[in-house]
Amino acid sequence: MTALHFAHALLPDGWAADVRIEFAGGRIAALQAGAAPGDAERHAAIALPGLANLHSHAFQRAMAGLAETAGNGPDSFWSWREAMYRFLAHVTPDHVEAFATQAYAEMLEAGFTAVGEFHYLHHAPDGRPYDDLGEMAGRVVAAAASTGISLTLLPVLYRQGGFGGQATSAAQHRFVNSPERFLALLERARAQIAALPGANVGVAPHSLRAVAPDDLAALLDAVPSGPVHIHVAEQLREVEDCLAWSGQRPVEWLLARHPVGPRWCLVHATHMTEAETQALARSQAVAGLCPITEANLGDGLFSLRAFAACGGRFGVGSDSNIRIDAAAELRLLEYGQRLAHRARNLIAPPGASSGRTLFDTALRGGAQALGRATSGLVPGAPADIVALDPTHPSLVAQAADGWLDGWIFAGDRTMVRDVWAGGRRVVEQGRHVGRTVQHRRYATALHDLLSTA
User: Rule CB under 8 A: which of 349-378 touch a copy of itself?
Assistant: 349-355
Query: Whose Cβ is closer to a copy of itself: residue 196's or residue 295's?
Result: 295
Q: How far apart are CA 25 and CA 41, in angstroms?
A: 18
Query: Whose Cβ is closer to a copy of itself: residue 198's or residue 390's?
Result: 390
Query: Whose Cβ is closer to a copy of itself: residue 387's or residue 416's?
Result: 416
Binders in 231-260 for a copy of itself, by CB under 8 A: 235-236
Q: Which stretch binds a copy of itself (CB under 8 A): 50-58, 86-94, 279-287, 341-349?
A: 341-349
Q: Which stretch binds a copy of itself (CB under 8 A): 59-67, 115-123, 134-142, 221-229?
A: 59-67
Q: Give the residue, chosen from 167, 195, 373, 397, that forms a contact with a copy of itself under the rule CB under 8 A.
A: 397
Query: Whose Cβ is closer to a copy of itself: residue 5's or residue 441's?
Result: 441
Q: Is 453 in the site for a copy of itself (CB under 8 A)?
A: no
End-to-end CA distance of the chain: 48
Q: How far apart are CA 143 and CA 137, in angstroms?
A: 10
Q: How far apart are CA 415 and CA 404, in angstroms?
A: 11
Q: How far apart are CA 60 and CA 118, in angstroms?
A: 11
Q: Give the residue, chosen from 53, 60, 101, 102, that forms a contact with a copy of itself under the rule CB under 8 A.
A: 102
Contact between residue 129 and residue 452 where contact means Cβ atoms under 8 Å apart: no
Binders in 65-84 for a copy of itself, by CB under 8 A: 65-66, 68-72, 74-77, 79-80
Residue 123: C-alpha distances to residues 96, 119, 128, 145, 176 (Å):
12, 11, 6, 22, 8
Query: Whose Cβ is closer to a copy of itself: residue 65's or residue 224's?
Result: 65
Catalytic residue among 215, 299, 319, 360: 319
Least distance to a copy of itself, CB of residue 409, Å: 5
Residue 125: C-alpha distances to residues 129, 142, 158, 229, 348 (Å):
9, 21, 16, 25, 47
Classify residue 267 as exposed, middle or buried by CB count within 10 Å of its CB (0-12, 13-18, 19+): buried
Tell which residue, 82, 200, 97, has the closest CA to residue 143.
97
Query: Whose Cβ is closer to a copy of itself: residue 332's or residue 370's?
Result: 332
Binders in 292-311 for a copy of itself, by CB under 8 A: 294-301
Q: Which stretch binds a copy of itself (CB under 8 A): 86-94, 125-133, 184-192, 289-297?
A: 289-297
Name the β-bridge partners of 22: 3, 30
Cα of 18 vs its chain's centroid, Å: 31
| Residue 8 bears catalytic tag | no
Query: Whose Cβ is closer to a copy of itself: residue 11's or residue 236's?
Result: 236
Q: Which stretch binds a copy of itself (CB under 8 A): 210-218, 274-282, 311-319, 330-338?
A: 330-338
Q: How far apart are CA 380 and CA 376, in angstroms?
A: 10
| Residue 5 bears catalytic tag | no
Contact between residue 347 and residue 359 where contact means Cβ atoms under 8 Å apart: no
Q: Give the residue, chosen from 17, 222, 339, 437, that forms a contact with a copy of itself under the rule CB under 8 A.
A: 339
Tell which residue, 327, 270, 260, has the closest CA to residue 295.
270
Q: Is 89 in the site for a copy of itself (CB under 8 A)?
A: no
Q: Give the residue, chosen from 158, 401, 416, 423, that forms a contact with a copy of itself under the rule CB under 8 A.
A: 401
Binders in 146-175 for a copy of itself, by CB under 8 A: none
For residue 38, the 8-state DSSP code is: T
Contact between residue 16 and residue 9 where contact means Cβ atoms under 8 Å apart: yes
Least distance to a copy of itself, CB of residue 346, Å: 8
Catalytic residues: 268, 319
